[in-house]
Amino acid sequence: MTTPWIDVVYGTRPEAIKCAPLVAELRRRDGIRTTVTVTGQHREMVTEINASFGIRPDADLDVFRRGAGLAETTSTIFAALSARWADGAPDAVVVQGDTASAALAAVAAYYAGARVIHLEAGLRSGDLRSPFPEEGNRRLIAPLASLHLAPTDAAEQNLLAEGVRPDDIVVTGNTGIDALHRQKTHPQRFDDPAMEEIAVGAERVVLVTVHRRESWGGPLARIASAVAEVVSARPDVVAVLPLHPNPAVRAEVRAAVGGSERIVLCEPLPYAQFGRMLARAYCTVTDSGGVQEEAPALGVPALVVRETTERGEGVAAGAARLIGTRREAVVTELSALLDDPAVHARMSRAQNLYGDGRAAPRAADAIERLLGVGARVAASVDVPAEAALVG
């Protein structure tokens, strides 16, 4: 009997963070051949994460082309994956989340006759245009998947409502929390001395991460300007804002903050350094899905600058607030969080809303069962649905 082959495909920083614990777990187990294929979209950041987890990719598709649009990028990914599996498809392909590489890998795997395993399945915002294109990508993956690894009970309920068979869903928790637990035990000094000074200083830190495509333009300018206004009026507060690699987005942020001395602009932080800054933060202003998961686990209040979120558990539990992108709303909500200790105390209770740090072993057990390997049986983690969190 041949050893089942699993190819784990990813290309962006969030995918790499959440796939790494599963890759490490699968490679520790006998009876499965696990390979990693990277698409090359976020090359430097993915390389850094792979190195921190000791992962060497087996194939690099090198699809990134500066200035390429969504259509060109997706067609290139699809063609490269099809060529990768032309001489024989894996038994299963693992895709993570909702990126272009995840959606295209799922379609390419389906065409090649491989089973699709969706890590972080079942997240839904309810709005096909927000976040764009992520909501469409994850809805595209679901009908193709043989195994849905859902991070929470709420995600499982979304899949059941769409007609997915209960036996095809396993609630595991989120592997991003596995990665977070690991990096907490491997703290890193900051490459940037200014970041190290902030991390060990006495000022309250507002960590701002606003990078989603739908935030570019007016929303990003409004958010950055609002944060600058709030922190400039409070001498004990400093905002840290990692810049997006896109030159136009960088210019927009610089113009919006207007040279405020209370906002420190920096290059994108390596994963472990970002985690250290998030743990140090008094609060975060974010449109990031991953940060919405990590912040509650660290007891850091999150102001979510989006109109919708597919991670309603944090909002329902009071650990996050969905405030939109209006300038006035950002000023009001951030001011309240900084000025009212009771508001901060209510939002800063550390909670395991998205997992307990053992999602990867549960996911690996489910994959073994799908492929008929081994005899491990692990119960699904009890991660509460939104309704159970109210009150």
pLDDT tens digits in sequence order for the chain, 391 residues long: 689 999 999 999 999 999 999 999 999 999 999 999 999 877 888 999 999 899 999 999 988 776 667 788 888 899 999 999 999 999 999 999 999 899 999 999 999 999 999 999 999 999 998 888 899 999 999 999 999 999 999 999 999 999 999 999 999 999 999 999 998 887 789 999 999 999 999 999 999 999 877 777 789 899 999 999 999 999 999 999 998 877 778 888 888 888 888 999 999 999 999 999 999 999 999 999 999 999 999 999 999 999 999 999 999 999 999 999 999 999 999 999 999 999 999 999 878 899 999 999 999 999 999 999 864 434 444 444 443 332 2
Write out the E strands in 252-325: 263-266, 283-286, 302-304, 320-322
Give me the catalytic one of 25, 91, 120, 135: 120
212 in catalytic set: no
Residue 342's CB is within 10 A of a number of other CB atoms, namely 8
Give me the catalytic one of 115, 211, 262, 362: 211
What does the buried/exposed string (b/e) look like for 60-72 if buried means 16 or more CB atoms within 10 Å of the residue's CB? bbebeeeeeeeee
98 in catalytic set: yes
Q: What is the pTM of this model?
A: 0.90
Residue of 130, 124, 108, 2 whose CA lies nearest to 61: 108
165 in catalytic set: no
Q: Are the C-beta atoms of residues 109 and 82 closer than 8 Å to each other?
A: no
Q: Are the C-beta atoms of residues 259 and 234 closer than 8 Å to each other?
A: no
Q: Are the C-beta atoms of residues 253 and 224 closer than 8 Å to each other?
A: yes
Q: Would you say the C-alpha torsion 63, 64, 67, 69 has a positive or negative sign?
A: positive
The span from the CA of 4 to the CA of 373, in Å, is: 8
Half-sphere exposure in the Cβ direction for 353 (13 Å, CA):
33
pLDDT given for residue 24 in this prediction: 97
Q: What are phi and psi of 205, to 5 degrees?
A: -110, 130
Q: Are the C-beta atoms of residues 215 and 226 closer than 8 Å to each other?
A: no
Domains of the chain, start order? 5-173+358-371 (3.40.50.2000), 192-348 (3.40.50.2000)
43 in catalytic set: no
Q: For residue 185, with 0-12 CB atoms within 10 Å meaning exposed, 13-18 middle and 19 or more buried, which class applies?
A: exposed
Query: Helix 100-112 and helix 70-84: axis angle, to 10°?
Result: 40
28 in catalytic set: no
Give me the catalytic one of 42, 115, 124, 244: 244
213 in catalytic set: yes
pLDDT given for residue 386 in this prediction: 40
Give me the catalytic one of 134, 229, 365, 386: 134
pLDDT given for residue 43 in this prediction: 84
pLDDT given for residue 377 in this prediction: 39
pLDDT digits (tens, 9 = 90+) for 295-323: 999 999 999 999 999 999 999 999 999 99
Give me the catalytic one of 29, 213, 326, 344: 213
